[in-house]
Structure 1
Amino acid sequence: MSTDIQTIRKLAHLARLEFDLTKEQEMLQDLNKILDWMEKLRELDTSQVEPLLHMSEEVNVLRPDEPKIIITHEEGLKNAPRKDSDYFRVPKVLD
């Protein structure tokens, strides 16, 4: 299977891409290589292969969500450019 320059131009238009003439030719060659590779894959017998649903057999491998204090309130405010006793001071955004 191969494609032509008109297909490349249509795909470029749909993807909002612009190519000069040399880039169009490069893209045409690359797309044809990809399509040829896909044709080779079609030759393989995959009737005995189960469909892949996930890349890994792991299920919900997450750390336990345990609350803990990493830094103190004072340490959090220590490097603030402006602070007011217990809070960060920031410029007013809304009236």
Structure 2
Amino acid sequence: MSIAWVSAGGIVGLAIAYGLFRFAKLGGGDGKLIIALGMLVGPVGILIVLFGMAIAGGVLSLIAMLRGQRDYAYVPAIAAGFVGYLGFVYFVV
């Protein structure tokens, strides 16, 4: 993995994390975790992670609504997206 690939993943992660932090009220620590994952998996991999993260976040959101909670931790959704990415890479690629 080259420094250009790591940098590109970090830039894509930064762009997405900043947008989520600024407009969707995602926490700063969650944003930094997304940037770090972008640097780990690259620019294409972070999009796969974010797809899994969105699905897991939707499930967590429904659970939080059923419990009557307004706020919930989003790190489990980020972790689930990364685990989904690992499974995708292992089984598909």
- Which structure would you say has the larger RCO, counting Cα contacts within 8 Å and 6 or more residues apart? 2
Both proteins in one fold, TM over 0.5: no
TM-score normalised over the length of structure 2: 0.33
Higher fraction of strand: 1
TM-score normalised over the length of structure 1: 0.33
Determine which structure has more spread, i.e. the larger CA radius of gyration.
Answer: 1
